[in-house]
Copies of this chain bind each other. A is one copy, B any other.
C-alpha cells in the first residue's frame, strides 16, 4: 500500500481520511488528508471530481480539515477535497525549523534549487504531480483529470501559481487572501531567496502576477478571490497585494476575469475562510461540471 491510513473519521455525510505516504520528491514521509464525500463509491471509476486545497503558513492538513467547512459543500456537490501538507517535515536541514515563515510548514509550493533545500523541498512537483498520481492509483473512483484548485494565504498563492503554470490542468482556481505578488512581498522574498536563490527570473516563474501576463492556456473560468479588508497582512503588511494581480490581468487572457472581492471587516483566519467556502465551492462546481 502506498498510503497508510492513520485515521478514518466519519464527518458530515462522508469520511475524512488522514493518510501518510513516502514521497520520492521530498524523500520524507508526507501527511495528506482527503475528504471522500457523501455517495463516494470506491467501485465507480473516475466518477468523482477533486478539489485541491492548499493551506497557508504553519498549517498541517488538519487546520482546514477542522475549520474551513469544505465537508458540507463537498457533500452537496459531490467532489472530494485533498488537503496536502505545507512542506516536508523532518528533513533535518539546518535552520529548517528556525522561523515560522520559512522551512517546515512553509514550503511555498516551489521546487527548491538552493543547496540546502533542493533535495527535499520539491513541493511544486509533489503537489501538482506525484501526490495526484499516487492518489489516483489508490482512489480509482476519484477523477484527477477533473480537478480544480484553491487555497489560503501561501496556499492561495500556491493555487494561483499552480493553475497558471499548468495551463488546462485545473478546471478552475480560487483563492482566499492569496499572496498574489510574492516577488514584491516580504514573505515571498524571504521564501524565494531561501529556496530559489538570488536570480529574480527564477522567482518570476512562481509569481501569479507575473505569470498571468504570459499565460496562454484556456481562460474559460473566472478567477475568484476573497480578501478581508481587516486582514493585517493585507492592509498593514502588504503581503497579499491582490490589486497587483488584477492590474496585471488587464493585459492578459484573464482581462475582466479576476473577481477580487475585498470584504469589509473580515480578517485572515479560518473564521474568514469558512465564511466564503460556500461561494468558492459553487464556483468550482460550475467548472467541474457539477450540478448539485
Residues of chain A touching chain B, judged by Cβ–Cβ distance below 8 Å, are 9-13, 15-16, 66-67, 69, 71, 228, 230, 263-267, 269-272, 274-275
The answer to whether B11 touches A272, judged by C-beta atoms less than 8 angstroms apart, is yes
The answer to whether B66 touches A11, judged by C-beta atoms less than 8 angstroms apart, is no
The answer to whether A12 touches B275, judged by C-beta atoms less than 8 angstroms apart, is yes
Task: Collect the chain B residues with CB atoms within 8 Å of residue A267's CB.
Answer: 9-10
Query: Which 8 residue pairs are nearest across A and B when measured between Cβ atoms?
Result: A10-B265, A11-B271, A10-B266, A12-B275, A9-B271, A11-B275, A66-B67, A69-B69
Task: Collect the chain B residues with CB atoms within 8 Å of residue A13's CB.
Answer: 275
Among residues of B, the one whose C-beta sits closest to the C-beta of A8 is B265
Binding site of A, secondary structure by majority: helix, strand, loop or mixed?
mixed
The answer to whether A271 touches B228, judged by C-beta atoms less than 8 angstroms apart, is no
The answer to whether A66 touches B10, judged by C-beta atoms less than 8 angstroms apart, is no
Among residues of B, the one whose C-beta sits closest to the C-beta of A15 is B265
Task: Collect the chain B residues with CB atoms within 8 Å of residue A275's CB.
Answer: 10-13, 71
The answer to whether B270 touches A10, judged by C-beta atoms less than 8 angstroms apart, is no
Task: Collect the chain B residues with CB atoms within 8 Å of residue A66's CB.
Answer: 66-67, 270-271
**Given contacts A9-B269, A10-B265, A11-B275, could you give 17 more A-B pairs where the C-beta distance is less than 8 Å?**
A9-B271, A10-B228, A10-B230, A10-B264, A10-B266, A10-B267, A10-B271, A11-B272, A12-B274, A12-B275, A13-B275, A15-B265, A16-B271, A66-B66, A66-B67, A69-B69, A71-B275
Among residues of B, the one whose C-beta sits closest to the C-beta of A265 is B10
Among residues of B, the one whose C-beta sits closest to the C-beta of A63 is B66
Task: Collect the chain B residues with CB atoms within 8 Å of residue A266's CB.
Answer: 10-11
Among residues of B, the one whose C-beta sits closest to the C-beta of A9 is B271
Among residues of B, the one whose C-beta sits closest to the C-beta of A278 is B72
A149 CB to nearest chain B CB (Å)? 24
Task: Collect the chain B residues with CB atoms within 8 Å of residue A67's CB.
Answer: 66-67
Task: Collect the chain B residues with CB atoms within 8 Å of residue A272's CB.
Answer: 10-11
A176 CB to nearest chain B CB (Å)? 13
Task: Collect the chain B residues with CB atoms within 8 Å of residue A274's CB.
Answer: 11-12, 69, 71
A237 CB to nearest chain B CB (Å)? 18
Complex Cα spacing A12 to B12, Å? 19
Among residues of B, the one whose C-beta sits closest to the C-beta of A267 is B9
A58 CB to nearest chain B CB (Å)? 15
Task: Collect the chain B residues with CB atoms within 8 Å of residue A15's CB.
Answer: 265
13 sample A-B contacts, Cβ–Cβ < 8 Å, listed by A number? A9-B271, A10-B228, A10-B265, A10-B267, A11-B266, A11-B271, A11-B274, A11-B275, A12-B274, A13-B275, A16-B271, A66-B67, A69-B69
Task: Collect the chain B residues with CB atoms within 8 Å of residue A271's CB.
Answer: 9-11, 16, 66
